[in-house]
Every structure is written in C-alpha cells, then in structure tokens.
Amino acid sequence: MRVLLPFLALYRRHTFLIFLGIILAIVTLLASIGLLALSGWFLAASSLAGLAGLYTFNYMLPAAGVRGAAIFRTAGRYAERVVSHDATFRVLSHLRVFAFKKILPLSPGGIARFRQAELLNRLVADVDTLDHLYLRVISPLVSAAVVIIVVTFGLSWLDGPLALTLGGILLLLLLLIPPVFYHAGKPIGGELTALRSQYRTELTFWLQGQAELVVFGALDRFRAALTATEHHWQRRQWQQASLGGMAQALMILASGFTVTLLLWLAAAGIGGDTQPGALIALFAFAALASFEAMLPVTGAFQHLGQVIASATRVKQIIDQQPEVSFPENGPAAQSGAALNLHNVTFTYPGQPLPVLHNIGLDIAAGEHIALLGRTGCGKSTLLQLLTRAWNASSGEIQLNGQPLNAYDEATLRAMTTTVSQRVHIFSSTLRENLRIAAPKANDERLKSVLQQVGLDKLLENEGLHAWMGDGGRQLSGGEQRRLGIARALLHQAPLWLLDEPTEGLDAETEQQILALLRQHCRDKTLILVTHRLYGLEHFDRICVMDGGKIVEQGHHAALLQQPGRYAQFRQRIGNISPK
C-alpha cells in the first residue's frame, strides 16, 4: 500500500472536488434508499388504510416525499458523475505531468534499460489505471461507510435493535468482503497488469517487424507466441471476472439473508408495537436499498491489485536518480565556443569496459574538427558527453574555460546545435517540425532553409502546412536527415555537433550539404563525426579514433604524409595513395 502514497499526495490539489464528489455520491445513495423505503412503506400503508383511508390517511405528504427523493436521486447521480469524473480527469492529468516530470531528467541513461514499447505502456496504460484509486476504491468505501452510519441512525428512531442489526451486518460485510477479495484478486491483478504490458510490447514488435518476419518465414512463429500471451491474458481476465461474479453473488446472498432476518425479527413488532404494520415494509425495503451502496465495494479491492501493480511499475521509473543533473544558474552564454577535454574516460552503466579512455583534446573557438573512426570506437559517445546526455566517469570537459557541468541546461542548449544519427520527425506540420529549433522564425526563413538543404519539393502542394505523419514516414531517410540539418540551420548556436550528417545521402547531395555546413559554420566551432572520407581536407583538424582513444590528429595533408590510420583509410578506399 505504501507504493500508493506518492500518488495519493497528488489528490490534495483537488480536495474540494474529490470531497464534493463523495458527498454527492452519499446524497444519491441516501436518496435512493429513501425512495425505495418510503415507496414500500407508502404502498403498504395505503393498502392497509383501504378505502377508509381516503378520509383519514395523508396521501399527499408521502407522495411528495417519494417525488422529492426521486428528484434528488436523479439530480444527485448526474451531478456526482460530472464532479467525480472531472476530479478524476484532473488528477489523471497531474499524474501524467508528475510522471513525465520525473522521467524527462532520466533520459537517456535512466530509461535506457526499458524498451520503448514497455516505457510507453508504463506511461500510458499504467498511469491511466491509477485513476481507479478514486472512482473504484476510495469513493465507494467512504460512501458505503457513511451511508451505513446514517441509515442505522435514522432507522434507530423507529426500532433500535432492528437498526443495529441491519447496520451491524452491513458494517461486518464492509470490513470483511474487501480484504478477502483483495487478497484473492491481488495476484490476478498484478499478473493482468504484467500480461497487458507484455502483450502490447509483443504486438508492437510483431507489427514493426512484419517485413523481416515475412522475408525470413518467421511470421507464424511470432504470431503463435503472441496468441499464447493473449490466451494467458484472457484466462486471467476470466478469473478476475469470475471473482467479481462471486463477490456479487455473495452480496446478493447476504442481502436476501438480511431481509429475511429483519422480517423474522420484525414479526414480533416494531418500536414496541406488537403489530408491525406498514413499518415492516419500510425496514425490508431500506435493507434492500442499503445493499446498493455495498455493491461497488465488492469490486473495489479487486481493482486495487491492478492499481498497486501499475503504481509499482510507474514508481520503478520515477524513483530512479538522473544520471545527469543541471544547476539552476550557471555561466552566461557566449558568442564563441572553445572546448577542452582533459583525460576524459567514460563507461556505460553496467558495462565492464570503458568506451572512452583518457581523451585529451583542445578545440579553439571557430575551429572545425572531424572525428573519424570505425563503428564502435566511441565517436558518438564523445558527442553525447559534450551535450551532457551522460557525465564523464572521470576527467573534465570545459566550455569556454568553465566546467561543462556548471552550465544550466537552458544556456547549454542555447549554445549547442546538434544533429544526431536518428532525426525524429514529429507527427505535426512541416512548419512546427522546423519551429522547434526557432519558435519565432517566420515562414520565409523556414522556406529558405528548406531550399538550402534541397527540400524544395516539400513546399509543393500544401507547403509548410503539410502533415509529416508519425515519425515522418512519408519522408525517406535522407530527407529526414536533411530536415534535421534544416533545423540546425535555424538554431543560432556557436557550437555545432554533427553525428553522420550526410549518412544516406547520394554523393552530389553530400557535397552540397558539406559545402553548406562549412559556409554556415565558418565563424562557429564545428565537430563532425563521420566514417566517410569525402571533404575532410577542408577541416582544420582530423582526429582519428580507435578503441576509445584518439590515436592521431592533424590536418589532412599532414596525416597523409605519415604512415598512420588516416593514410591507411585513404589507401584502402583507393581515393589517395600516400607517398
């Protein structure tokens, strides 16, 4: 239960709506009990009065009471639904914001161990499940407890022993049934939550990998595994439904037993009157109506197992400590960017060997550097350290003479322009996809950068209003990469970090993009990661990496004159033979 405490604290923001919803639920239940009890008594009393009652029995007052109770029940139920759902949606929105606020600082290190589909399931389905805490657990339990007290107190004015008998049975059921069915349904609820996540994850992988599964003939095998998970999930759903049916049956049985017991006890008289008369109908119908307040209680604690399991899964993410934290204030942004790396070593969490070993590198403001090396040598990791996606395990990185971790996040992002290997296209318009880099840029500026990167055709038809779709699926890989470069051109920053910016581009387009980048960054510090050798002669310095170290560095011409890695790379592809 303790796992729910951080989420219950969020309910304090909407205390008024939550309490108002519970009060309206109580009023509705009491109106429903009053309606049925008064109607039963009214019919019984009218039949006993007979024709003589036309002159001695007051028909108007009970009829008015029945109508009033009906109006209160109808209006109260509508108002309770509106208020309760409004409170639930408000709490749910804060739950989502709370979860996202906790998760954002964890990226990428804290969430790297979770699959994307698994992470999405925890953020959506598990957070949504937490709304059951109010609607299906807190509100029914509190409402039932208050209704039992009010009904017992009200009936005690007519007959104390009968009222206490009814109240005692209801209270006993309230104390016994929820814990019993909670313990019975807890393992099922926990497994349902896990199976829901597993099924959705497997389904996502199955849909995303359709092409590969069909090509290699593995479609049926993966579909069989998905079907097995689905059947297991359905069995657990059937078990939970059976448990809910058993709880309802038990409550109906208790209702029948209680009414029978009250009729038997009332046979001796009610309130000292040896002839119970119409009051026996009032007690019988009041008992039947009182069980309306108990019916939601039977299923309340069955859902608690799922709520706790979902809360545990969300808490596993939000309780993690960020790998990287930023100060609130730091050095001011500058127009230039000089970098100094002193003995920088980095090891990914949980990995035995470091990716970077004692990297030492000094980059002057405005210098253009190319990082060259084979896949896995640590080039991209070095860029991630410069953006503070990770902190160096040892050593120090300085930006303009200040430790990199001294800068607040807003300043660091304002001074850095990054194009990663994977450019994400948001499901929005072309205009909004560009404006994330420059929110105030006008349409003319946006069209200009698109033309510079060779994406003129995107301006045809709908132009900047064109919808990119989920992940920019209508764009090729090269077009997505150029759209990422267009964003970078819009972001005015003195430090440029580019990770394979021309990957997926043809030779002619690659030449155009590299020329554009050199022109745009002539007064900026540029670090370009690449494994392609075209255009490197234009860089101020080339740093060749291997095994997490910088094994050689220098200008293109100087490196060709020595028998090093760079010369070997050039000779291997046959572009230039070292002399």
pLDDT along the chain (579 residues), means of 10: 75 86 92 89 78 66 86 91 88 82 75 72 77 81 91 89 91 87 82 86 84 86 90 91 87 90 84 72 88 79 76 80 84 90 90 90 93 87 90 92 92 92 87 90 91 87 84 80 91 91 84 90 92 85 91 89 82 53
The verdict on 308 and 430 lying in the same domain is no
8 A C-beta contact, residue 349 and residue 356 = no
Q: Is residue 379 part of a domain?
A: yes
Q: Is residue 283 part of a domain?
A: yes
Domain that holds residue 244: 2-318
Point out the domain boundary residue: 284, 318, 352.
318
Residue whose structure tokens are 């400590």? 321
The verdict on 313 and 352 lying in the same domain is no
Question: Order of strands, edge to edge, in the sheet holding 394-399?
Answer: 356-363, 339-346, 394-399, 402-403
The verdict on 131 and 271 lying in the same domain is yes
CA dihedral sign of residues 507, 508, 509, 514: positive
The verdict on 227 and 165 lying in the same domain is yes
Q: Which of 521, 534, 545, 543 is nearest to 575 (CA)?
A: 534
Q: Which of 145, 130, 123, 122 is nearest to 25 (CA)?
A: 145
- Written as six digits, the tokens of 345 are 């070593």
Q: Which residues of 422-435 are buried (b: 16+ CB within 10 A; e: fewer)?
A: ebebeeebbbebbb
Q: How many CB atoms lie within 10 A of CB 51?
A: 6
CATH number at residue 125: 1.20.1560.10
* The pLDDT value given to residue 227: 92
The verdict on 291 and 394 lying in the same domain is no
8 A C-beta contact, residue 514 and residue 344 = no
Q: Is residue 331 part of a domain?
A: no
Half-sphere exposure of 507 (CA within 13 A, CB side): 2
Q: Which of 172, 158, 161, 169 is nearest to 257 (CA)?
A: 169
Q: Is residue 135 part of a domain?
A: yes
Q: Which helix (H) or strand (E) holds 340?
A: strand 339-346
* The pLDDT value given to residue 52: 60
8 A C-beta contact, residue 177 and residue 251 = yes
The verdict on 312 and 436 lying in the same domain is no
Identify the burial level of 573 via C-beta atoms within 10 angstroms of its C-beta, where 0-12 means exposed, 13-18 middle and 19 or more buried: exposed
8 A C-beta contact, residue 152 and residue 167 = yes
CA dihedral sign of residues 170, 173, 175, 179: negative
Identify the burial level of 242 via C-beta atoms within 10 angstroms of its C-beta, where 0-12 means exposed, 13-18 middle and 19 or more buried: exposed
The verdict on 263 and 394 lying in the same domain is no
- pTM of the full structure: 0.72
- Written as six digits, the tokens of 234 are 């359905």
The verdict on 253 and 297 lying in the same domain is yes
The verdict on 244 and 299 lying in the same domain is yes
What is the SS3 assignment for 391?
Answer: coil
* The pLDDT value given to residue 576: 44
**How large is the angle between the packed helices 279-318 and 60-103, nearest 10 degrees?**
10
Q: Is residue 330 part of a domain?
A: no
Residue whose structure tokens are 């309340």? 300
Point out the domain boundary residue: 318, 348, 373.
318
- Written as six digits, the tokens of 305 are 């197992």
| Backbone dihedral angles phi then psi of residue 541, each to the nearest 5 degrees | -150, 145
CATH number at residue 435: 3.40.50.300
DSSP state of 328: S
**Residue type at position 456:** D
Ranges of H-type helices in 425-562: 430-435, 443-452, 477-490, 507-520, 556-560
Q: Which residues contact 110 (CB under 8 A, 6 or more apart)?
A: 103, 317, 320, 321, 322, 323
Q: Is residue 328 part of a domain?
A: no
* The pLDDT value given to residue 539: 92
Q: Which of 453, 458, 459, 430 is nearest to 520 (CA)?
A: 453
How far apart (Å, rounded) are the C-alpha atoms in residues 504 and 251? Answer: 66
What is the SS3 assignment for 370?
Answer: strand
Question: Order of strands, edge to edge, in the sheet holding 549-554?
Answer: 416-419, 495-499, 525-530, 368-373, 541-546, 549-554
**Residue type at position 260:** T
How far apart (Å, rounded) are the C-alpha atoms in residues 271 and 157? Answer: 8
Strand partners for 529: 371, 499
Name the domain count of the chain: 2
| Backbone dihedral angles phi then psi of residue 96, each to the nearest 5 degrees | -65, -45
Residue whose structure tokens are 């009157």? 273
The verdict on 350 and 261 lying in the same domain is no
8 A C-beta contact, residue 544 and residue 564 = yes
Q: How far is CA 477 from CA 443, 459, 485, 503, in A?
A: 24, 18, 13, 9
Q: Is residue 263 part of a domain?
A: yes
Q: Is residue 334 part of a domain?
A: no
Residue whose structure tokens are 């069909």? 214
8 A C-beta contact, residue 381 and residue 391 = no
Q: Are strands 541-546 and 549-554 parallel, antiparallel or unpaired?
A: antiparallel
Q: Which helix (H) or strand (E) holds 343?
A: strand 339-346
Q: Which helix (H) or strand (E) holds 51?
A: none
Point out the domain boundary residue: 253, 284, 318.
318
Residues, the chain, total? 579
The verdict on 403 and 273 lying in the same domain is no
The verdict on 98 and 208 lying in the same domain is yes
| Backbone dihedral angles phi then psi of residue 552, each to the nearest 5 degrees | -165, 155
Q: Are strands 339-346 and 495-499 parallel, antiparallel or unpaired?
A: unpaired
* The pLDDT value given to residue 577: 41
